[in-house]
Structure 1
Amino acid sequence: MTVTDATSVAVINTTAPMNDAGGFIYSFEVPAQMAAGEAAVTAIPFNIDWCDDTGKNNRADGAAATLQRASCVTPMKPLSITR
C-alpha cells in the first residue's frame, strides 16, 4: 500500500495482511510532513508484476489461471488532506 501526497511524494509505502478475498484494513496517522491537498491511496498484491505483458498469470504461480486482468491501471482512491 502506498499513500502519495499532493506533491506526488510517497509518504507511506508498506505491506499489510490481505484476506483470501483480497480485502485488507490498514490505519495510519497522517505524517506531519505530508503536503495538504489531494492525496492518493494505492494498493496492489505484494511482489506481483501488476501488468505482466508476457501472457503468464503470475498471480497464482503453478495454479490454473482463473483470473483475467481487465486493466493495467493501478487501482487508486483519493484522500483529501487538510490542515
Structure 2
Amino acid sequence: MPPPYSVIPSSAAIGETVTVEAQDSECDPSYGENAEIDVNVTDAGGKRIISTTAPMNDAGGFTYSFQVPSSATPRKAAVEAYPHDVDWCDDTGKNNRVSAAEKLLIRASCAARIEPLLITVPG
C-alpha cells in the first residue's frame, strides 16, 4: 500500500505553498535507493493541476512542496501520492512485490487514497 501521507496546510489560497509528506514506514517496504513518489493534485473543476514525481526514501518517507497554481479552480481538491513505478494494486490479483512468496496473495479490493485540499482565493 502507499505510505500514509499528510497535506499541510489543509487549506491554501492560490499562490500559497502546500507540502505533501510521509514519515518513514515501520514495515520496511524496501522501495529502493532511487525510489520516487508520484504526486497528483486534481482541482474542483476536475483539472490535474500538479502531476510530478519527487524523491522518496527506501522506507517510504518523502516531502514535496508546491505552490497552488493560478489556474486552479477554488474549492475542494484531491491530493494523491503513491510510489512511482510500483504496482501496489495489481488488478490481476498477483502481488508483483512478493512474487517469490509460497502462497499467492489475492486482493479483495483496491481504492486510491485521496487527501483533501481546500483551495481558496487570495485576500
- State the TM-score, normalizing by the size of structure 2: 0.55
Aligned counterpart for 1:18 among listed residues 56, 75, 86: 56
Q: CA RMSD in A?
A: 2.3
**Shift of the alpha carbon at 1:22?**
1.4
Cα distance in 2, alignment partners of residues 70 and 11 from structure 1: 31
Look at both structures and tell me which one has the larger radius of gyration over its CA atoms: 2
The structure where strand makes up a greater share of residues is 2
Cα distance in 2, alignment partners of residues 72 and 24 from structure 1: 23
Question: Structure 1: where are the runs of 5+ without partners?
Answer: none
Aligned positions, number: 80
Identical counterparts, % of pairs: 59
Residue 9 to residue 17, structure 1, CA distance change in 2 (3 Å): same
Question: Structure 2: where are the runs of 5+ without partners?
Answer: 1-38
| Partner residue in 1 for 2:70 | 32
Per mean C-alpha deviation after superposition, the further-off stretch among 26-35 and 49-58 is: 49-58
| Partner residue in 1 for 2:30 | none
**Contact 1:50 1:72 survives alignment (8 Å):** no
- State the TM-score, normalizing by the size of structure 1: 0.78
What letter corresponds to residue 36 of structure 1 in structure 2? P
